[in-house]
Amino acid sequence: MHDWLKTFHGANPSFPPMEMAIKAALALGLGMLVGLEREWSNKDIGVRTFAMTALLGVLGTLLGPQMLLISGFAVLILIVFANVRGLQVNSKLEATTSVALAIIFMLGVLIGQGHLFTPVAYSIAVAMLLALKLPLRSFAGGLSAQEVRSALILALLGFVIWPLLPDRFIDRWQLIQPSEDWITVVVIACLGFVNYILLRVYGSKGIYLTAVLGGLVNSTATAAELVTTLCALDLAELTAPVILLTSVSMFFRNLLILAIFAHSAIRTAAWPLISMGIVAGYWVYRDRRKAEGVKPEVTLNLGSPVSLAKVSTFALLFLVLQVVATLGQRLIGSSGFQIVSVLGGLFSSASTTAAAANMAMHGKVTSTQAGIAVVLTSIASTLVNLPIVSRHPKARPAMRELIFCSALQVAVGISVVAVQWKLGA
């Protein structure tokens, strides 16, 4: 039998059967994944064509550069004929299907070369983009000129300005390092923009969800606008749970910022913030019946967090907080750093959290100090909501409850920090 197989192969080395079976199965699976979506969308090029195109990419790779070139040319001819037919029948190009078919061919080539992760990941991404046609079109159609400008500004900040900044300290006191500081600003701006898009898409699904998503963007501005809205809708009894939800979202956002830049500080900040979130969660759960059947469409008029004015303001505030906190740490010690963190929380907990995380990342403060600073700035930002609510006469009956819950949150948060500090000591 062995001699017969050698005669069959002749001078050509045999392909390993198991390896070929795995590559063929993978190519078929990925081609069918994308082809099923095209079939579901009633396209002429469907499951079989996509699967065989992936196999063609594998075979072209195995048979050498010349066959790969011929295979690619065959796929190109297929794409041309598909578009010609599309123009004749529907008067439209099959651009999306054509690009998807070309990508599947290239993924088949990668499979033939022995790659696994890249073709799997890319085929899933292609299938998702094809399947999300209607939501993406709806989303793109709903974008305002301001939001498009925001996306362009993000690209400008991240890909044009940042590479031009010096990657060193520019002062003899080693306080300002433009490149490192700017990338922090860009990451926070991207995070704020993503949260803003989520608010735009899902912000009208209920007042509680609006409070959560708005708190991720700007908890103080969201609290101010929601109190005004609740009073106008005669729903002032929902003031306490709604304001508390904005604070809980702010806790989560600050933890996320900390995780991005100084993940080791999460161990210190997480439990106090989670404990305060549980206290707020109890009030929200307790008052859930007040919100039953009440689903007013609330649209927050929060502007995009990514504009030249807002990014410049955030960058300036971040830089000032970082410089002052660094000087406080050097001159007074840990207490000076924490005092600056509390004061910073009265203006922007996101800026203060970013400054603390950036300092921890560069070793200017310990991860424990940064975690405590994030807890303190979050507490300060929570307390800022109290005078905002008190300015509305209709919301004042809810003030006693909100003050009690806020005081309990502060007590629980500080107690957890104290217990962690004692156990750590």
Task: Report d(CA 35, CA 133) in Å as an integer.
Answer: 15
Amino acid code (one letter) for 92: K
DSSP string across 143-198: --HHHHHHHHHHHHIIIIIHHHS-SS--STTS---HHHHHHHHHHHHHHHHHHHHH
The C-alpha angle with vertex 130 and arms to 109 and 36, in degrees rounded to 5, equals 70
Q: 292's torsion region: left (phi>0), alpha (psi -120 to 50) or beta?
A: beta
DSSP string across 375-386: HHHHHHHHHHHH
Where the chain has pLDDT below 70, the residues are 1-14, 136-144, 202-205, 288-303, 424-425
What pLDDT score was predicted for residue 142?
A: 63
pLDDT in tens, 114-154: 999 999 999 999 998 888 877 766 666 666 677 777 777 77
What pLDDT score was predicted for residue 319?
A: 87
What CA–CA distances, in Å, run from 145 to 135, 298, 408?
19, 22, 43
Identify the burial level of 94 via C-beta atoms within 10 angstroms of its C-beta, where 0-12 means exposed, 13-18 middle and 19 or more buried. Answer: buried
Q: What is the residue whose two structure tokens read 């809708």?
A: 233
Task: Report d(CA 363, CA 413) in Å as an integer.
Answer: 25
Half-sphere exposure of 51 (CA within 13 A, CB side): 13
pLDDT in tens, 32-91: 999 988 888 888 788 999 999 999 999 999 988 899 999 999 999 998 988 888 788 777
Task: Report d(CA 183, CA 161) in Å as an integer.
Answer: 10
Task: Report d(CA 26, CA 42) in Å as an integer.
Answer: 24
- Give the start-end residues of each E strand in 46-102: none
